[in-house]
Structure 1
Amino acid sequence: MQRISHSFRQLAAAAAVAALAAAGVPAAQAEDITLVSIQSMTGPAAFAGAVFQKSIQLAVDEVNAKGGIHGNKVRVIERDNAGDKGQAINLASQAIDRDRALMVLGPSLSADSLAVAPVFNEKRTPFLTFASSDAILKSGPWALKLRQGSDVDGPILARYLLEKTPIRKAALIFDRTNESLIEYKNFFRDAFKAGGGTVATEEAIVSNDSNFLPLATKLKSLDVDAVYVSSYAEQAANITSQLRKAGLPEKVRIVGSLAVASPKFIANAGKDAEGAIVISDYAIGIDRPLNKSFDAAYQARYQAEPDGFAAIGYSLAQVALASIKEAGPNPTREKVRDAYLRLKNVPVVVGSGVWNQKDRRPHIGALVLVVKDGKFSITQ
């Protein structure tokens, strides 16, 4: 009888292992906390998504090296939606049903996040998005944010220009195909005008535009003090170089939204980037303990200096991991969502260094940077 019982236990254990394998979960990791990260690791937004993923993995590896969360290791399943909304929706469903994710990180882009939001809300699964637009919150209570709304960054930048520079008249260029980039422009414009500034013109472009010489000719005739650009870094660099090539005087400052604050802007624009003023979440070399350890760890692991996207990815992971820890030793999706709502004063490497939220609307602060001698320098 004892031998039969022993054999039965062996068969039961083997069946459990087989079930875990069929579900895609290694037996040794049955108690792992599973996160799924859906990022644009390839495609047109890979400059952000691939870096987000590197920093998320760095943060998870650090917490695992310290014993995990409540004794459980954290496992990240990486998924690439290549900047495609349809693929993001498919991966969202897989993350919920197949991967059994406790929480999902991403997607990288606001448009992709809005596309997947109905899936997560219907299946009652928390997802922590990189989207800055508060529009994502209207999709339902399972949509969570890392970044503050665009209504914070724009006024900070406008106030700096009006109080610290002679800029009073600006032309605005923005990518009309991206909701976040439009919001950046609108909030900056409204704050700039409310503070006494004048907007000479608003020029819409699309993400694949590359010839800006006709636009440069128009802007030269407007006698502006600055040209505000709300597009991604590489396109912003192309715009800047073509404006200078067309004869836009150096005294006319280039001003950039949050999307411009990347080393790729300086690398692509070269000397034409000198003097540009941008709003940013992050700058390397900030004298805070977490920033110092992050800067050093990222460079040691990836042999490159972290940029704003790296800092945002790392900070998003810090908030996700803090939510899971706050949820207690037996976390569920609902407990993690509720824990996020209780979080306060989470250390991050962006903005002021402290993340808070109220009613799912985060606040982290922002930095104003100027390009000086080929590098971003903090002005305030």
Structure 2
Amino acid sequence: MKRILVSGAVALAALATSAAHAQEVTVGVPIAVTGQFSFAGSSGRNGIEIAREELEKTGGFGPVKLKLLIEDTASDKNQAVTLVDRFIKADKAALILGTTSSVEAFAALPIAQENKVPVLSIASADVTKVGDWVFKATTTPTKIMEALAQQYLERFKPKRVVYVFNRDNDAYIAQKNGIKDYLAANGVATVAEETIVGSDTDFTTLATKIVNQDIDTLVISTTAELSANIIIQARQAGLSDKVRIVGTPSFASPQFLKVGGAAVEGALFVSDYFTEGTSELNQRFVAAYKAKFGVAPDIFAAMGYTQLHVAVTALKAAAPNLDPASIRTAITKVKDLPTVLGNGTLSQTETRTPIYGGFVLTVKNGKFVQL
């Protein structure tokens, strides 16, 4: 096939003509920029912004004119409900990108399901059980944690484990179960399962209980900040350096390093994304993100970036029929999409959850490195 190159003013004119004839579609983005889940939502919003700018510069929207309505849920499930309801009923959004957290998702996404508006959510839990109009933009907690469990078992041969997890968040429960079930099935003893809630700050009693257990592994499944604080307080209570700390993708947040400091050195975790990934796509993404925000992107920025790319791929495939039903069908057909996540290509599956692999990382000298 002969490649035709369009350059200079001709290229700009072509993009302008395409934009002038593009069909507008409204996309609602309820995202947690403030509050408990802002560690994920603020970065996710930034990732969406980088993807939007990239697509605008390259003409990547094709026949679609995107109207993005980005609003803060404040990490409040009631606010998320209000926003999703307004996006669909007042703004006539044909697609929802959100929510950030599972707590918000299970409260708000039934509205989209009821109104038959497709959703792409970066919430960690398996939100697809809300209904067949809800898609995950990231892989399931169980699958990502199983990948960690396999490598951890092979490398470190754990024998006795304590699990600490956030009982008021389905995603963190699922992530805990993802590693626990695999290790238990392979003969690793569960010494104890301790629970916390997202509003907890004092882990003194919990830390004492952990330290008094005969274990070689501590698995923590909660937010980045809470995970770091649990580790700090456990270290202060006398947790041995021989006890390995294992965690969820939440550890991939810079907040984990900032709050945890030296206490989190050596922690192991799995991540959908690694900033140092060597693909050309990731290098462009990192460069653009650093240029705009002054810092490297984290896992949540990569998820937001990917979320918009998946959405636009589906919108372009559905055009000119940009009704919710056509968009939903197009999402199911996203295959081998280049991505900064995992092994570099993303495909939706029949379970409305994508596959792309993951990275097993550790903290070394205050930085994330691949294990």
TM normalised by structure 1 equals 0.89
Q: Is 285-294 or 158-167 further displaced after alignment?
A: 158-167
Aligned to 1:248, which of 239, 258, 261? 239
What is the rounded CA distance, in whole Å, between the counterparts of 2:65 and 2:50 in structure 1? 14
Q: Deviations over 1:46-68 (max 9, x none)?
A: 11111111111211121122225
Residues 140-189 of structure 1: per-residue CA shift (max 9 Å, x gap): 22111111112212221111111012432211100111110011111211
Matched, 1:173 2:161: no
SS in structure 1 of the partner of residue 354 of structure 2 = strand
Shift, 1:244, TM fit? 0.8
Identity of aligned residues (%): 37
1:345 aligns to what? 336
TM alignment of 1:111-130, pairs within 5 A: 111-130=103-122
Greater Cα offset, 136-145 or 241-250: 136-145
Runs of at least 5 residues in structure 1 that lack an aligned partner in the other structure:
1-27
TM-align CA RMSD? 1.7
Larger RCO, structures 1/2 (Cα 8 Å, 6+ apart)? 2
Between the aligned partners of 2:195 and 2:255, the Cα distance in structure 1 is: 22
Question: How far apart in 1 are the matches of 2:290 and 2:124?
Answer: 27
Q: Between Structure 1 and Structure 2, how many residues are aligned?
A: 351
Matched, 1:190 2:181: yes
Tell me which amino acid in the other structure corresponds to 2:364.
Answer: K
State the Cα distance separating 1:138 from its structure 2 match: 2.7
Greater C-alpha radius of gyration:
1
Residue identity matched to 1:113: A
Aligned residue for 1:211?
202
Counting only pairs closer than 5 Å after superposition, residues 285-296 of structure 1 correspond to structure 2 as 285-296=276-287
Question: Which residue type is aligned with residue 183 of structure 1?
Answer: A
**Which residue in the other structure is 1:145 paired with?**
136
- Confirm or deny: 8 A CA contact 1:230 1:260 kept in the other structure: no
Where does 1:80-119 land on structure 2 (aligned, <5 Å)? 80-119=72-111
Shift in Å, 1:42: 1.3
* 1:373 to 2:365 alignment: yes
User: Which one of the candidate residues 155, 170, 181 is aligned to 1:164?
Assistant: 155
Verify the 8 A CA contact 1:60 1:74 in the aligned structure 2: no
- Deviations 1:267-305 (Å, cap 9, x if unpaired)? 111111111101111111111011111111100011111
Where 2:240 maps in the other structure, the secondary structure is: coil
1:64–1:74 Cα contact (<8 Å) kept = no
For the 8 Å contact 1:159–1:195, the answer to whether it is kept is: no
SS at 2:28's partner residue? strand
TM-score of the aligned structures, taking structure 2 as reference length: 0.91
Q: 1:356 offset after TM fit, Å?
A: 1.2
The answer (yes or no) to whether the contact 1:93–1:119 under 8 Å persists in 2 is yes
Q: Say yes or no: does 1:51 pair with 2:75.
A: no
Letter in 2 for 1:308: I
The separation in 1 between residues aligned to 2:335 and 2:88, in whole angstroms, is 27
Establish whether residue 223 from structure 1 lines up as the match of residue 199 from structure 2: no
Question: Structure 2: any 5+ residue segments left out of the alignment?
Answer: 1-19
Query: What's the counterpart of residue 8 of structure 1?
Result: none
The aligned counterpart of 2:11 is: none
Range 330-339 or range 178-187, more displaced: 330-339
* 1:73 match: secondary structure: strand
- What letter matches 2:168 in structure 1? T
